[in-house]
Structure formats: C-alpha cells, structure tokens
Amino acid sequence: MFRDLSLSACSMGILAAFVGYSASFAIVLAGLTAMGATAAQATTGLFFATIGMGICSIWLPIVTRIPAAVAWSTPGAAFLAATVTLPGGFGEAVGAMIFAAGLIVLTGFIPTLGRVVAAIPKPIANGLLAGVLLKLCFAPAIALGSIPLLVLPVLVAWLAGLTWNRLAAMPFAVLAFLAVLYFSVDTSTDALQADKTWLPAFTPTAPIFTVQSFFSIALPLYLVTMAGQNIPGFAVLELNGYRVERQPLIRKTGIVSLAFAPFGSIPVNMSAITAAMMAGEDAGRDPAKRYWAAITSGVVYVVLAFAAAVVTSLASLAPLALITAVAGLALVPALVGSMSAAFSDRTQLEAPALTFLIAASGMTLFGISGAFWGVVVGALIWLAKALAHRSLDP
C-alpha cells in the first residue's frame, strides 16, 4: 500500500481538502444556525461533520483502492439554511438528521431504495436541488445592498479566482472574507477567547422525533444528499474508469453519518467535485495509485476538524449577512448546474418548474415543507404528461 504513495497524489489530496472545506464550511454553519443551533452546538456539528468526512475519506479508499472522495452534504446544509426552524428547535432538527442518516444506511442494505431514488426523473431531482439552493444564492445580492463595503471585496476576490480557475473562486473569497474581518470588524479578544481549548464540548443534543420533521426535513435531506451528491459522485468515479460497488459505499457513509448525527452533524456522502480532482491525471499517471489522494484529503479533514471552534468563533464576529453571502457564492455553480439539468428535457418543462417553484417558495402544507410537496407535485405532473404522450402515440 505505501509503495503506491506519490507526491502528486498527496498534493492533489491536500488541495482538494482545502478547496472542499473552504468552499462550504459557511454553508454548514448557516444550515446549523438556521435550525436553531447555539454557537456551541454549531461548533460541535461542524467538528463531527468534518471528522466524518475525514474518517470516510481514509476508510473507503483503503478498502476499495479507488479515489472514493467523501464530502459533507453541501446541498443538504443549504436546504437546512433555507428552511424555517422547526417547533422543537435544534433538537427536532437533530432528530431529522438521525432519520436522514438512517435512510442512507437502509439504502446501503436495501438496493431497492437506491433504485427508487434513481428512478426519480433527473429534471425533477434537479428542480428540487435548484429550489433548495435558490434562497441562499440570493444572499450575496441582498448583502451587497445592505453591507456593500463588506461584501464587495469578497465578490471581487471570488470573481478574480473564478476567472483564473473556478476551483480557486471560493478559497479567494474566504481569504477576502478573513481580510474584511481583520480590517473592518473588532477581532480583539472576546469571540476568540470564548473557548480557550479551541475544541467543541462534544455534547450530543437530545433528539426530538416527529412525523413533521421526517417529512419536512429528513426526507428532503435524504433526497438531496442521494440525488445531489451520492449519485453524481459515483458517476464521476465511473467516468474515470473506476469500478464502483455502490451499496457498500452508501452503507459505510450512512453508518458514519448515523453515528455522528446526535452531535448535530449533517450527513456525509460521496463527493463529485473533489472526486473529479483526485480521480484525474493530476493525481498521478497510474489510476491504480490515485486512491492515496483521497486518503490524504481525509487526513487533512481530520486536522481541519480541530479548527472548528476557531472557525465558528471567526464566523461569529462577522455580520450574519456576510456569512450567508459567502455561503451563497459557494452555491452559485451548483445552482446553475441544477437549473440547466432541470430544464434539459423540452417535452417536460412544467414538472421540474413546479418542483423548483414549490421547493423555493418556503411554503408549508399540513406542517410539511415545500421541498417534499415539490417532489410530489412534480412527479404527478411528470407522470400525467408521460401517460398523455403515450396515449397519443400511434
């Protein structure tokens, strides 16, 4: 195993980990905060989500000998950030995350569940994903109108990184964010000295399980994690020539997600963007040795997990609008991709459109969020149009 270690694989793993973390930590914090987490609970959730990525990114490549990159559920965190806080507060949200992780574990043991998710028409799945992302993607524009002097440097840095290399966009934006904090916000002592250990309390949150949280949070969180992360992640590996056994990988990421969910951790899943970085030639000429890139990224994630308290403290110094603006910028590429895919079938535009609009609206019906109803309505319209077209065919 250690004979396969190479400098190119290690360097790509380090780069992928920093890109993955910097591009989405603000989304995770925004999601946990929107669900009612205190600063201590958000720190704990961020720590365990990062540790979960690290454990799986080391474990899966060692077992499979493929660059099976793992990430936290970025679209899932975005969904939480755009959702109204549940009546039971963060405890009910934790119950929903345990439900969602349990569904992922079941999918790993019951292939039929995976086939059901895969059977959802891709335009509808992408319409759901776009609707989930839309609200948070408004944040940069809203913040630009309310705190322009703080947001403009971040936007300029993001654009500079985007024009150079799209993977550099968010690292540049995060660096600009830190510079804005240093020059514009009082970073003297209070927030950074609040936790001298730089570690979270590791205290689990007592979960509250309700039917409402299952349909409003858990089921949509499961769907966007599977359709928005796991399925594309498997596709990236297969496109790069790797043989992927999906069920064991889903099972292992689900078990880790379930173990850490009581601490407020969002699910972890297969990654698409960082997988593309580590499965390509930049990670080494020999495809059989590129799995070391994923292992390296896992080691980096474990190290980054111990910065959770510092990251949360720094984020607490900034105006909430600035944090959500950074999170929204990170989601712009995903929003563009999901909207393009949602309306790719010219014969079926209404179904993904209604899925997108209902999911983005923030509506609730019978106490259940629009994300669930968007999929239901979209699927019914898709089926009705498909049957109508079939009856018209000679």
Is residue 203 classed as helix, strand or coil in its secondary structure?
A: coil
pLDDT-wise least confident of 64-68, 288-292, 383-387: 383-387
What separation in angstroms does the CA of 216 have from each of 251, 277, 295? 24, 34, 35
How do residues 46-63 score in pLDDT, each as one tens digit? 999 999 999 999 999 999
CA distance 19 to 169: 9
Query: d(Cα 117, Cα 195) in Å, to the nearest integer?
Result: 42
Q: What one-character DSSP code corresponds to residue 120?
A: S
Q: Are 75 and 133 spatial neighbours (Cβ–Cβ below 8 Å)?
A: yes
At residue 197, does pLDDT exceed 80? no
pLDDT at 293 over 80: yes
**pLDDT (tens digit, 9 = 90+) per residue, 7-58?**
788 888 888 888 888 878 888 998 999 999 998 899 999 999 999 999 999 9
**pTM, entire model:** 0.84
> Rounded CA gap, 162 and 156, in Å?
10
Residue 331 has pLDDT above 60, yes or no: yes
Tokens describing residue 339:
């909207």
